[in-house]
Amino acid sequence: MAIVAVIVCVAACSTEKAATIATSPSATLGASEEITLQVRLVTREHAEGCQRSAANPDPSAQTKLFDRKGTCFALARAALDITKVAKAGPIEDDRSPGNGGLKALLLRLAAEDARALSGLTSANVGKRLALVMFGRVVIAPDVQVPIDNGQMALSGLSADEARRAARALDPSDVPDA
């Protein structure tokens, strides 16, 4: 499994951006809602001093964030900030039976971001990267191989989060339901 767990990379991904979210995870997507995906190097798991937030932190700053299970991660500055993708859409997460209604988000990155993610994952094989959305660590898999095809599936999102993220990252092709 390249970049383990909630991120299922479908070959590769690249980008040199970081993500920020300016609304609470339970809000409905409005025209002004900015949802981005930050990719950050994990510097420590089970850190102390985590803060809860509805929005992603400043991408240029180190931070500490919780994941859905309450684990606190110390994170480096965002290496990537993905604000738009070539294609995004929520999909059923059938890899995790009994997942409580969580969904996965299939992402096909824009060429520039795919190259950046490929470079980032190539340089960090054996290390752990965190994907941050909605002010929390969505997943923090170990990088086992470089992701170089520009596609990934991000799991561990609620159905609402998957819809909102897909609509914000790729507003061209996401149904309202």
The domain spans of the chain are 7-169
- CA distance linking residue 113 with residue 69, whole number of Å: 29
- CA distance linking residue 100 with residue 110, whole number of Å: 31
Given this model, what pLDDT does residue 27 score? 33
- CA distance linking residue 105 with residue 92, whole number of Å: 8
Phi, psi dihedral angles at 152 (to 5 degrees): -155, 155
156-165: average pLDDT = 82
What is the phi-psi region of residue 79: left when phi exceeds 0, alpha when psi lies from -120 to 50, beta otherwise? alpha
Checking if the pLDDT of 17 tops 50, the result is no
State the Cα angle at 118 between 15 and 163, rounded to 5°. Answer: 55
Say which CATH topology domain 7-169 has: Gyrase A; domain 2 (3.30.1360)
More confident residue, 129 or 164: 129
Checking if the pLDDT of 157 tops 90, the result is no
Given this model, what pLDDT does residue 28 score? 35
- CA distance linking residue 42 with residue 79, whole number of Å: 11
